[in-house]
Amino acid sequence: MSKLFSPCRLGAIEAPHRVLMAPLTRCRAGAGNVPTELMARYYAQRATAGLIISEATTVSPRGHGYPDTPGIYTEAQTEGWRQITRAVHEAGGRIVLQLWHVGRVSHPSYQPGGEAPVAPSAIRPAGKVWTGSEMTDYVTPRALETEEMPGIVAEYVRGARLAKEAGFDGVEIHNANGYLLDQFLRDGTNRRDDGYGGSLRGRCRLTLEVTSAVCSVWGPERVGIRLSPGGVFNDMKDSDPLATFGHLLRELSPIGLAYAHVTRVTAQDVAHGAKDGVGPRELRACFKGPMVTAGGFDRAQAEAALEAGWADAVAFGVPFLANPDLPRRLRDGLPLNVPDESTFYAPGPKGYVDYPAAD
């Protein structure tokens, strides 16, 4: 039997196979950043995934940085997610919620009262942000005060509790792709001189505090964490990513998390300045629990990663977007639907719930 299609235990979650659905931002939430019935159809169509990792979901109003992304900080949002978890479970699937705060890669147009976005340090990211009406330069964020850190942790705790109320099977902490927790972790974005910066231990502190707090809600066996050690998305840099992420994974390892979700460097990353050799293969020895990976895998590459032992499961992104029955197609060698990139972040059902399953 192919190892890719053998059962896999991720903490307390029993996955029937190792083809997971990666978190995919789709910008289809309704007014108030509330998940919709259309989103429930989308996720239920993909319930044959070994595990669905939901799209990134903000834990506070100031955690937003993109239009129409869902939240998990109000009663209406919780009820919206409840219809999604119910639909996935009725279809025989498993789903965890990815907890998110974008930090500096936001804009005052998304912030309560039009305030500046928050970050570990007042360093403006290169690039532009979509405000909902135009592309404009990022602004310089406001550095969080030391006394604000417990409030940040509390936002993740609230999100974790509401995710439990909404019926999820667990949560994944989004500590990747240049968002708030990743910004604290890397020395290119964290220039603090308090206990949340400076040393490697200081830069890891917020991640570890958030992880511990979220585990107090769910138990570590239902908590995962996503890391992108070689990623440069959102203008991210670190002087020694192997040391940074190796230290963090060694600190996380004794906690007993359900998994660490560590992305590999892709050709697209390299084209944008990333360096290869900083990913799950190199960091596997630092984490003793299950390791999930992602990053442009096909079936052969996924099988090779599993056989080599540096991954226990593989999360697929764009292929799942266009192929709701992706596990069957991979298993049986069926052709894949071609994704329509023009609809990735567009509103409505086109390019969202209208991709056909294989006959």
Half-sphere exposure of 84 (CA within 13 A, CB side): 31
Residues with pLDDT less than 70, the chain:
none
Question: What is d(CA 48, CA 29) in angstroms, rounded to the nearest whole number?
Answer: 23
Q: Where are the domains of the chain?
A: 3-343
pLDDT digits (tens, 9 = 90+) for 9-35: 999 999 999 999 999 999 999 999 999
Predicted local confidence at residue 277, as pLDDT = 87
Looking up tokens 């509390």 gives 154
Residue type, 48: T
Question: What is d(CA 9, CA 106) in angstroms, rounded to the nearest whole number?
Answer: 36
Of 43, 66, 156, 179, which residue is the catalytic one?
179
Look at domain 3-343 and name its CATH class: alpha beta
Question: What is d(CA 21, CA 161) in angstroms, rounded to the nearest whole number?
Answer: 23
Predicted local confidence at residue 213, as pLDDT = 98
Angle value at C-alpha 226, between 166 and 198, nearest 5 degrees:
120
Predicted local confidence at residue 272, as pLDDT = 79
pLDDT digits (tens, 9 = 90+) for 284-325: 999 999 999 999 999 999 999 999 999 999 999 999 999 999
Check: CB of residue 162 under 8 Å from CB of residue 78. Answer: yes
Residue 51, SS3 per DSSP:
coil
179 classed as catalytic: yes
Query: What pairing do the DSSP bridges indicate for beta strands 135-137 and 142-143?
Result: unpaired
Predicted local confidence at residue 133, as pLDDT = 87
